[in-house]
């Protein structure tokens, strides 16, 4: 068994292969994020992707935003290594890799300030205190009138909703060829290795951070996306 080199259940070198068989609509997170940014009344000069993983979002986004500078941040050196390989060509001058750091511990000041900050499936691993700090860091770094976009695992409002969501998740993974043992291990991480909030808890956290606009962007079973304007 290959030892993990990041907080996800998959080794960085095989993350891209596994994640599309694990999370329903994973590729939709990136598509909806890019579609939203295209709809915003912003000239996107600088885009920070925190918890960037292997760089898949930036790989897609720079096709639509070729003049934008992209900053990539992740707590895992191994994930950043994979992102460097993926984004090595072309136009390397528009891609900048920040020193490995969890969002909540990132203390640098960025110039120029990002117009867009994305955090896709990365903050649900954090404790409530660290998740709050991570969102505060994103708020601090973001330019005035800039947008923060996040997708996370979420908690349904009822125990019955949790059970239905997990069954949906199980059926998706079975259809993608995963075995029952792997699926059970993945579902057992709920509230043990990652800590989902309800949609309203997410909205409250974002409002309390100080964003002037907070909206639900996308929702399906155990995942949701949000966007905020500073």
Residue 26 CA, chain-centre distance (Å), reads: 10
Residue 96 structure tokens: 């900048």
* CATH code assigned to 12-229: 3.40.50.150
Pairing mode of beta strands 69-73, 95-97? parallel
How many residues would you count in the chain?
230
Q: What is the pLDDT of residues 33-51, one digit of tens each?
A: 999 999 999 999 999 999 9
Q: What percent of the chain has pLDDT over 90?
A: 84
Q: What is the pLDDT of residues 128-146, one digit of tens each?
A: 999 999 999 999 999 999 9
Residue 93 structure tokens: 């001058």
Residue 125 CA to residue 86 CA, distance in Å, equals 25
What pTM value is reported for the model?
Answer: 0.94
* Residues contacting residue 16 through CB under 8 Å, at least 6 positions apart: 54, 56
* Residues contacting residue 181 through CB under 8 Å, at least 6 positions apart: none
pLDDT band at 6 (very low <50, low <70, confident <90, very high): low
Which residue from 70, 67, 51, 50 is spatially nearest to 59, judged by alpha carbons?
70
Residue 22 structure tokens: 């694990």
Nearest 10 degrees: Cα torsion 98, 99, 100, 102: -70
């Amino acid at each position: 068994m290959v030892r993990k080199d990041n907080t996800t259940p998959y080794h960085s070198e095989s993350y891209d292969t596994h994640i599309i068989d694990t999370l329903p609509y994973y590729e939709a997170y990136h598509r909806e994020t890019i579609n939203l940014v295209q709809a915003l009344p912003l000239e996107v000069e600088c885009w920070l992707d925190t918890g960037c993983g292997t760089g898949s979002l930036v790989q897609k986004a720079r096709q639509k935003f070729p003049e934008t500078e992209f900053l990539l941040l992740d707590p895992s050196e191994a994930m950043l290594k994979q992102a460097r390989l993926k984004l090595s060509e072309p136009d390397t001058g528009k891609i900048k890799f920040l020193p490995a750091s969890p969002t909540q511990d990132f203390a640098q000041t960025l110039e120029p300030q990002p117009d867009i900050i994305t955090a896709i499936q990365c903050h649900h691993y954090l404790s409530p205190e660290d998740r709050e700090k991570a969102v505060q860091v994103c708020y601090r770094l973001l330019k005035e009138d800039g947008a923060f976009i996040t997708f996370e695992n979420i908690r349904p409002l009822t125990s019955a909703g949790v059970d239905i969501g997990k069954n949906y998740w199980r059926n998706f993974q079975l259809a993608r060829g995963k075995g029952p043992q792997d699926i059970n291990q993945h579902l057992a991480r709920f509230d043990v290795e990652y800590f989902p909030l309800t949609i309203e808890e997410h909205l409250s956290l974002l409002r309390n951070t100080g964003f002037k606009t907070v909206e639900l962007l996308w929702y399906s079973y155990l995942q949701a996306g949000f966007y905020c304007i500073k």
